[in-house]
Amino acid sequence: MNLVSSILRSLAKPIAKPFFLNLFNLFQHCQSASSPTAILTYHSLDESGSVISLSPEKFYRQMKFLHSRGYRVYTLKEYAELLGKRQPVIKPSVVLTFDDGYANFMEEAYPILRKYNYRATVFIQTDYIGKRSSFTLDLDLPLMGPEAIALLAVEGFEIGSHTLSHSSLPRISLTRAEIEIARSKEVLENLTGRKVHSFCYPRGEYNREIIELVKKTGYQAAVTLNPGNKNSSDDLFALRRVTIRTRDELAYFRVALGPFFDIYNRWFQL
């Protein structure tokens, strides 16, 4: 019986998902004031079709949509400060984050963001600056060099830490984890001449001890890969995000920004 139910659900999903995407978009069109401030996650902008990639053309359409709807784009530092102080956030608004610092950010994302006067938060694993993304099996591409990172900081983009080596922090010793968290912050501050306020857990993996190390090191906020677009001041060191991938069309992107995303995510277990 369980097998039959599983088969029926798998057959129904291709029909149900677009139906509910359109339905939620219809409802939230009338409720933009109640929309949360989603923290969106990007990795590489390329045409490879990998699970952590997005085509540059889709990214452009998404940024064009935000601009057409009058979205305010915050860096993670700006948003976390407002959240922590319980101060009002301009609506509609969104936070753009890029994990790993792929070199194609400068070629594909940077010109589009500059066009709309948007700023993003870019998370860097410092041992790999100017190298290739050999720390992941999903994609092997060049990463940004020190000059690009420094330029972004000068132009108001936020540079955040993604550790030294992109290691899973709960799987190494606490002593090593503290070095990964603290030393990467120092390297980036020396490189950019600016304080590093935001942290990103590699692979989204963390526990209570790791959170305490991040707090102890002086970060203001940290992001996870836990899906969701609603956060509060209680979540500053375990902020939920929505990962945008190459299969995601504009209808999904719109739901990711709206009040029904958590329901959609729960139903279809994204």
Tell me if 23 is assigned to some domain: no
Confidence at 180, pLDDT banded by 50, 70, 90: very high
Tell me if 208 is assigned to some domain: yes
Tell me if 66 is assigned to some domain: yes
Determine the structural domain holding residue 92 and report its residue range: 35-268
Confidence at 264, pLDDT banded by 50, 70, 90: confident
Tell me if 132 is assigned to some domain: yes
Alpha helices (runs of H) in 123-205, residue ranges in sequence order: 146-154, 174-192
Tell me if 22 is assigned to some domain: no
Between residues 168 and 13, the one the model is more confident about: 168
Confidence at 3, pLDDT banded by 50, 70, 90: very low
Number of domains composing the chain:
1
Tell me if 184 is assigned to some domain: yes
Tell me if 18 is assigned to some domain: no
- What is the pLDDT, as a whole number, of residue 73? 98
- What is the pLDDT, as a whole number, of residue 28? 54
Per mean pLDDT, which range of 95-99, 199-203, 261-265 is the poorest? 261-265
Confidence at 266, pLDDT banded by 50, 70, 90: confident
Between residues 186 and 28, the one the model is more confident about: 186
Residues 34-81: tens digit of each pLDDT: 689 999 999 999 999 999 999 999 999 999 999 999 999 999 999 999
- What is the pLDDT, as a whole number, of residue 111? 98
CATH of the domain at 83: 3.20.20.370
**For residues 91 and 33, is the Cβ–Cβ distance under 8 A?**
yes
Residues 132-152: tens digit of each pLDDT: 999 988 899 999 999 999 999
Tell me if 20 is assigned to some domain: no
- What is the pLDDT, as a whole number, of residue 9? 46
Distance CA 183, CA 259 (A): 38
Q: How do beta strands 44-45 and 38-42 pair?
A: unpaired
Distance CA 146, CA 225 (A): 26
Whether 171 has a pLDDT exceeding 70, the answer reads yes
- What is the pLDDT, as a whole number, of residue 246? 87
* CA angle, 189 then 82 then 163, to 5°: 30
Whether 125 has a pLDDT exceeding 90, the answer reads yes
Q: Read off the pLDDT of each residue in 188-199 and give the average, rounded to a whole number.
A: 98
